[in-house]
Chain A
């Protein structure tokens, strides 16, 4: 078995106009930056993107927004992007804002083969409008449906040709739950290793969930908020 493809272009070759994509990452941490660049190059349009954030103007999903490739964003927080705001205000872009835990758990449900979840997040707010509410043990919960995505695109630190993945630090975030949730899952990795090199006890995403894997070159890994402390001399 070999799931390795040559590069990002090969990995996204059959992503078409109008498809729904999941894109891993939190802010710009752990985003599949090579696949996003390939999507920009390919020019597919009318995409629905499920991603916690929407990148910044010149990096991440922001690049897709600039080319007007995104029809709808499903996110929990979208603040850092002027072009995004412009398209939202002119009605070019549709945005569905959902609670971050709900976003993660709707991915998880898809990956666990469950049609829906019940969460208290959003009870009593506009998020609950039109949704089924169930009371369990005296507390109200919203029914939220599992996502249905044509492709999930994730970024891992290391992976092998069977698709087993290991993430690094908080670049893990949404990547493992999205990797489980796509009809087709694409993983881009910093290091592609041979089967056996990753410790089976420390695999974060088992390869069964991953359909295509490639090694990305020269990751930019942009930092959104560079915060540091001074050394005491």
Chain B
């Protein structure tokens, strides 16, 4: 079973040289720590920055330089700053190659729910609806089951949706799965020490298993 760092490490392998990438809050943010040195990537932060760098050294925080999670960050050489309309313009126009975000539920046709739980305080969708509506390449990083032990990979989402037919790949603590265009979660890899049976048990939606499923290499 993978921990959060493990999920982030596995997702980092999906990032290709030359990509512009938008990382959501939570596990997706950790992905930046595992991008190999020989893979040249530019991180987009939707508050208006391309070329996001690591956290500043203590004492060098700049209140004017934050990421979309409102954390103090740095700008790398070659970075560019722009306004919020342009930021979502480049997202809508599919200039960002890969979007990685968290989810509460994903359905077997690629619908995602990640912004609202009825009856709880709703904080808002931020930029998530814009990102999932436009990006061609969306990877979800999440736990396979919720705290109650219920599967988060479902035939149909039960929570209010963030977007429809959009998730392409899911990486959880148990498995890597593709969401097929015609519907269904295709099992690609098992987490170390996890059996196919355990993944079947944790997946409520249609699971497609073809041949031997390799253990993931991270």
Q: Mark A residues whose CB is within 8 Å of B.
A: 26-30, 52, 75-79, 85, 88-89, 97, 99-105, 107-108, 119-127, 157, 167-177, 204, 221-231
Contact = CB atoms under 8 A, between A and B. Distances in A.
Given A221-B64, A225-B72, A76 B125 contact: yes
B129 A127 contact: yes
8 contacts: A76-B124, A79-B124, A85-B121, A99-B128, A101-B84, A170-B47, A225-B70, A229-B55
Contacts of A124: 111, 161, 163-165
Name the residue among B68, B123, B161, B163 with the largest chain A CB count within 10 angstroms.
B123
A104 B126 contact: no
A97 B164 CA distance: 19
Nearest to B161: A125
Nearest to B66: A29
Contact of B64 (A29, A121, A123, A204): A29
Given A227-B71, A228-B57, A231-B58, A169 B65 contact: yes
Contacts of B61: 223, 226, 228
B85 interface: yes
Contacts of B36: none
Interface stretch (B75-83, B141-149, B175-183, B198-206): B75-83
A173 B83 contact: yes
B11 to A, nearest CB: 21
Q: How large is the interface on B (under 10, 10 to 19, 20 to 34, 35 or more residues)?
A: 35 or more
A175 B83 contact: yes
Interface string B10-51: 000000000000000000000000000000000001111100
B154 interface: no
A122 B133 contact: yes
A177 B69 CA distance: 21
Interface in B120-158: 121-130, 133-134
Overall SS of chain B's interface: loop
A231 B60 CA distance: 11
Interface string B102-133: 00000000010000000001111111111001
Interface of B: 45-49, 54-73, 75, 81-85, 87-89, 91-92, 111, 121-130, 133-134, 160-165
Contacts of A171: 63-64
Given A100-B46, A224-B66, 4 more contacts: A26-B48, A99-B126, A221-B63, A228-B57
A57 to B, nearest CB: 15
* 6 A-B pairs with the lowest CB-CB distances in the bound complex, closest first: A101-B88, A101-B130, A124-B164, A79-B123, A104-B84, A77-B124
Contacts of B82: 172
B55 A228 contact: yes
A230 B128 CA distance: 31
A51 to B, nearest CB: 12
A104 B75 CA distance: 23
B64 A120 contact: no
Contacts of A108: 85
A100 B127 contact: yes
Given A101-B91, A124-B161, A169-B64, A29 B47 contact: yes
Contact of B48 (A85, A126, A172, A223): A172
A117 to B, nearest CB: 10
B9 to A, nearest CB: 19
A100 B161 contact: no
A228 B127 contact: no
Given A76-B124, A85-B121, A169 B62 contact: yes
A27 B146 CA distance: 29
Given A97-B124, A99-B125, A101-B91, A121 B133 contact: yes
Given A226-B72, A228-B58, A173 B47 contact: yes
Contacts of A104: 83-85, 87-88
Contacts of B111: 124
B71 A225 contact: yes
Contacts of A229: 54-58
A100 B163 contact: no
A168 B81 CA distance: 9
